[in-house]
Structure 1
Amino acid sequence: MLAYARDRRRWLVFGRPRRVGSETHRERAEVLLESLLTLGPTFIKLGQLLSTRPDVLPPAYIDVLSALQDEVPPADWADARVVLEEDLGSVDTRFQDFDTDAISGASLGQVYRASIDGDDVAVKIRRPGIETLVESDLRVIRWSLPILIRFVDESRSFSLENLADEFAKTIREEMDYHREARMLAEIRSNFDDDDRFLIPEVYEAYSSDRVLTMAYIDGTKINQVDELDAKGIDREQVAENLQRSYLQMIIDDGVFHADPHPGNLAVTDDGRIVFYDFGMSGRVDEFVQDRIVEFYIAIANQDIDAILDSLIAIGTLSPEADRAVMADVMELAIADARGEDIEQYRVQQIVGQIEDSIYEFPFRLPKNLALVLRVATVVEGVCVTLDPDFDFIATATDYLTEQGYREESIQRVLEDTAGEVRDASRSAVRIPPKLERTLDRFERDDQFVRVGVEDSDQVFATLAKRLVYGMLLTMSLFSMGVLYALGAPVAAVVAAVFSAVLSIVLYWSFRTPSSISTKPQFTRQNLRQRRGEE
């Protein structure tokens, strides 16, 4: 926390702000990663949440924390058995067979393989005593964040203030296996008629809020490309199917699996994709879905203004953001991604530039939008592992076209254009009389012009302060000379100290960000320099 705060301001509570390079950020992030792993389950989850918040942490932190896998050694079976039998009854009577060696361990739960009436099942059991540990850790987080907020700027503190409550809600949802079962069942029903995907069925009679029993589906881990090739699986088709599944979940269904790292995805021998672990899942409302469609279409069309409009509409960027600067960021992102040696461009690079921009122009991200952005980049990373030439935009464009979204977008543009033509026609009729009245006023010298000056950066206030400091310094220096000449050394020393203080204050007024110097912005040179550092 101290390192993060000092990266923002040289002496924590005073001194001018500073900006450290990506290398320093990465070193800080590596230390943070080790600390989170040492602190245990709750903080591992906190790190995963932070990896979806580019409005809180710099890009280097996001990159390091994105690799944080929710894998820890499983708890002792004797303790897990207590939880299982308290909720479901005796293991020996409820299950035909039960393998007491966990097949996977996570920070909040662990999974065992068993059988019910001859059917193979996976039994997910909440880690024993995790509720008490989580509540204790949440109290630490709630106590720590208000301290950190005192050392960051106002916009960052707004995001941090809401982070504790958001995290508490997220981790409690993930510990609620009833909720996970409902989300799993809903997503499964959305893919009922699609044989390209497999989602486990829930055994409700063998599930509770601490135990979740699902059908066991075996498969090859999706990033084990050598095994997939040995089995003759078309990796390019798997990558396309995976991307289409998430486009459907986010754009059409409004409910999505939000943790698509390779440990939660597998491929069957016949090429079908298996989804595991729905503890981290989210919903997207219709408004956000429409904005995401607009965003994808704008990227497909390389329409910079439309990209910015969709980001502003969705709440990622402020309407007050410098459009010229942000347009430059988007233009460079697309230009870099579509280099001479690259035929397609990666949405991960574009989203990366957006996330970088969000940190420099820190605006709050809606919770589920942060999840959507992270899902988009993680899914594409998996797809590129399967197919190094995978073209996200081509797949997304085909999907949007097949579902009729692009045609709808064109139709809306035509309707908007027709409306603008009608408005322009009305204005053409109204303008001549108004213009004639204005010219008559000029002829009679009866025209007044009102000018309003916006000073959001308080430039005039800064100038006024400096003038006052300068006049006081001049008067104190003059007074010091007069008092010394009149034989009043003590008074002269007091005037000298006052002059020294004023000199320091005046000096610092030229070094703080409130000075009239230009604020750092995204320029081509700045971006190239930062990419060079990285």
Structure 2
Amino acid sequence: MLAYARDRRRWLLFGRPRQVGPEIHRRRATVLLESLLTLGPTFIKLGQLLSTRPDVLPPAYIDVLSALQDEVPPAEWDEARAVLEADLGPVDEQFESFDTEAISGASLGQVYRASLDGDDVAVKIRRPDIETLVEADLRVIRWSLPILMRFVDDSRSFSLENLADEFAKTIREEMDYVREARMLTEIQSNFADDERIVIPDVYEDYSSERVLTMAYIGGTKINNLEELDEKEIDRPQVAETLQRAYLQMIIDDGVFHADPHPGNLAVTEQGQIIFYDFGMSGRVDSFIQDKIVEFYIAVANQDIDAILDSLIEIGTLSPDADRDVMADVMELAIADARGEDIEQYRVQQIVGQIEDSIYEFPFRLPKNLALVLRVATVVEGVCVTLDQDFDFISTATTYLTEQGYREESIQRVLEESADQLRRAGESAVRVPPKLERTLDRVDRDDLFVRVGVEDSDQVFATLAKRLIYGLLLTMSLFSMGVLYALEAPEGSVVAAIFSVGLVLLLYRSFRSRRSIMAKPQFTRQNIRKRQRE
């Protein structure tokens, strides 16, 4: 954190900001990653959440933390058994058989295989005493937050405070298996008529707040390409099915599985996709859904202004941001996202460029949008692993067209255009009388104009400072000459020292990144340089 603070002020309390390259950020991120792993389950989850927040951390941190896997050695069976029997009763009476070797272990829970009424089931058990540990860690995070705020700028302090609240809410929800069962059942019902998607059934009578019993469905891990090819599974079709499933969840249903890494996705021998682990899941309200649709359509149409408008309305981009600079960012992002075929896109690259711009400016992300952003990048990565020629935008455009969203968008544009024409006609009738009254006031010398000047970049303050420094320097040099002529060497030395100080202040004023001549950091040259690095 001291190093991070020195990036803002070279000598902590004062000085110019430092230019720090991706390599230094990556090295620091690796240290942070090791610290999070050492601190245990809660902080592993915190690292996973941070990997979805480009408004809080630089892109290099996001890259490193996104590789953080939620895998830790399972607890001893005797400890897990105590939790299971406290909620459901004796294991031997509830299950026909129970394999005491965990098939997977995560930071908050672990999964076992068992047999129930002749069916294979997976039993997810919350880690023993994890609630106490999580609450203690959350207290540490909450108490540390005021200290942390002193090391970051004002624009990120609000994001960090929101992040702490969001994290506490998310991790408590993930420990609640009743909520997970409810979300799983809701998403399962949304895909009830889709034979391409498989979601395991929940055994409610054998589940509780700390235990979740589901049907066990085996399959091939979705990134095990060799085994998928051996079973002659159509990988491009699987990729398209996965992408369409998430488009349905986010755009249509408003409830989605938010942890689509390869460990939570498998493929049956018939090419169906199996979803596991609904602990991390989220909801999208109708407003965000509409704006996501508008964003996808704007990207498909390469309409830069529509992309910026969508980002502003969704709360990602500040209305005060320089639209010319952001238009360049979007234009380059789309250009960089094209493959060899000019119609090919890579949405992960688009999102990556947007994340860069979010950090550079920086902006905040709405809470659920951070999960959506993470889902979009992870899903696209899985799809490209399955099919190197996978075209996200083409799939999304086809889906939006099939569901009628593009036609609705065109209809809405036509309606808005008609409304604008109507308002323009009304204005054409109202303007001439107002113009005549204004000209009459000008003719009578009775017109006053009030002007308010916004100076968010402190241009006038900078000019005033330089003017004062210049006047003082002129006076100091004149005084030094006069004192030297009057044979007062001590006074002339003091004046000379004062003059040198003023010269340094003037030089610093012109060299500061807040100088009037400063240019935006996010330029074409910087993007290309960053990509090469």
TM range (shorter): over 0.9
Write the deviation string for residues 336-391 of structure 1: whole angstroms up to 9, x where unpaired.
Answer: 22244564101111111111110011111011101001101100111111111111
1:201 aligns with 2:193: no
User: What is residue 526 of structure 1 aligned with on the other side?
Assistant: 526
Match of 2:10, SS state, is strand
User: What is residue 52 of structure 1 aligned with on the other side?
Assistant: 52
Match of 1:17, SS state, is coil
> What letter corresponds to residue 60 of structure 1 in structure 2?
A
Task: Tell me the TM-score normalized by structure 2.
Answer: 0.94
User: What is residue 211 of structure 2 aligned with on the other side?
Assistant: 211
8 A contact 1:255–1:282 mirrored in 2:
yes
Cα distance in 1, alignment partners of residues 356 and 439 from structure 2: 50
Answer with 470-479 or 20-29: which moved more.
470-479
Write the deviation string for residues 492-532 of structure 1: whole angstroms up to 9, x where unpaired.
Answer: 8887776666565555444444432324342222222222x
Match of 1:16, SS state, is coil
Deviation at 1:198, TM superposition (A): 0.8
8 A contact 2:312–2:319 mirrored in 1:
yes
Unaligned stretches of 5+ residues in structure 1: none
8 A contact 2:325–2:520 mirrored in 1:
no
> What letter corresponds to residue 334 of structure 2 in structure 1?
I
Cα distance in 2, alignment partners of residues 160 and 13 from structure 1: 21
Cα distance in 2, alignment partners of residues 449 and 293 from structure 1: 44
User: What is residue 336 of structure 1 aligned with on the other side?
Assistant: 336
> What letter corresponds to residue 264 of structure 2 in structure 1?
N
User: What is residue 190 of structure 2 aligned with on the other side?
Assistant: 190
Deviation at 1:306, TM superposition (A): 0.7
Cα distance in 2, alignment partners of residues 117 and 231 from structure 1: 31
User: What is residue 247 of structure 2 aligned with on the other side?
Assistant: 247
Calculate the aligned-residue CA RMSD, in Å.
Answer: 2.3
User: What is residue 269 of structure 1 aligned with on the other side?
Assistant: 269
Cα distance in 1, alignment partners of residues 506 and 328 from structure 2: 36
Instruction: Trace 1:341-490 onto structure 2 (pairs within 5 A).
Output: 343-439=343-439, 447-472=447-472
Answer with 280-289 or 81-90: which moved more.
81-90
Cα distance in 2, alignment partners of residues 378 and 229 from structure 1: 22
Write the deviation string for residues 394-438 of structure 1: whole angstroms up to 9, x where unpaired.
Answer: 111111111111111111011001111111222223334444455
User: What is residue 29 of structure 1 aligned with on the other side?
Assistant: 29
User: What is residue 82 of structure 1 aligned with on the other side?
Assistant: 82
Match of 1:121, SS state, is strand
User: What is residue 20 of structure 2 aligned with on the other side?
Assistant: 20
Cα distance in 2, alignment partners of residues 78 and 499 from structure 1: 78
Mark the CA change 1:351 to 1:73 in structure 2 (over 3 Å): closer, same or farther.
Answer: same
User: What is residue 178 of structure 1 aligned with on the other side?
Assistant: 178
Cα distance in 2, alignment partners of residues 201 and 22 from structure 1: 45
Cα distance in 1, alignment partners of residues 4 and 265 from structure 2: 34
Answer with 189-198 or 261-270: which moved more.
189-198
> What letter corresponds to residue 32 of structure 1 in structure 2?
L
Answer with 358-367 or 340-349: which moved more.
340-349
User: What is residue 120 of structure 1 aligned with on the other side?
Assistant: 120
User: What is residue 280 of structure 1 aligned with on the other side?
Assistant: 280
Unaligned stretches of 5+ residues in structure 2: none
Deviation at 1:479, TM superposition (A): 6.5
> What letter corresponds to residue 179 of structure 1 in structure 2?
R
Cα distance in 2, alignment partners of residues 297 and 36 from structure 1: 39
Deviation at 1:483, TM superposition (A): 7.9
8 A contact 1:201–1:215 mirrored in 2:
yes
User: What is residue 105 of structure 2 aligned with on the other side?
Assistant: 105
User: What is residue 136 of structure 1 aligned with on the other side?
Assistant: 136
8 A contact 1:146–1:161 mirrored in 2:
no
> What letter corresponds to residue 367 of structure 2 in structure 1?
K
Identity over aligned residues, as a percent?
A: 83
Match of 2:385, SS state, is helix
Cα distance in 2, alignment partners of residues 134 and 488 from structure 1: 72
Cα distance in 1, alignment partners of residues 114 and 486 from structure 2: 99
> What letter corresponds to residue 388 of structure 1 in structure 2?
Q
> What letter corresponds to residue 207 of structure 2 in structure 1?
S
Write the deviation string for residues 68-91 of structure 1: whole angstroms up to 9, x where unpaired.
Answer: 111111111111111111111111
Mark the CA change 1:343 to 1:461 in structure 2 (over 3 Å): closer, same or farther.
Answer: closer
Write the deviation string for residues 422-466 of structure 1: whole angstroms up to 9, x where unpaired.
Answer: 112222233344444555555666555444322112222233233
8 A contact 1:103–1:112 mirrored in 2:
yes
Cα distance in 1, alignment partners of residues 22 and 418 from structure 2: 48
> What letter corresponds to residue 386 of structure 1 in structure 2?
L
User: What is residue 232 of structure 1 aligned with on the other side?
Assistant: 232
8 A contact 2:55–2:358 mirrored in 1:
yes
User: What is residue 317 of structure 1 aligned with on the other side?
Assistant: 317
Cα distance in 2, alignment partners of residues 248 and 500 from structure 1: 67
Deviation at 1:323, TM superposition (A): 0.8
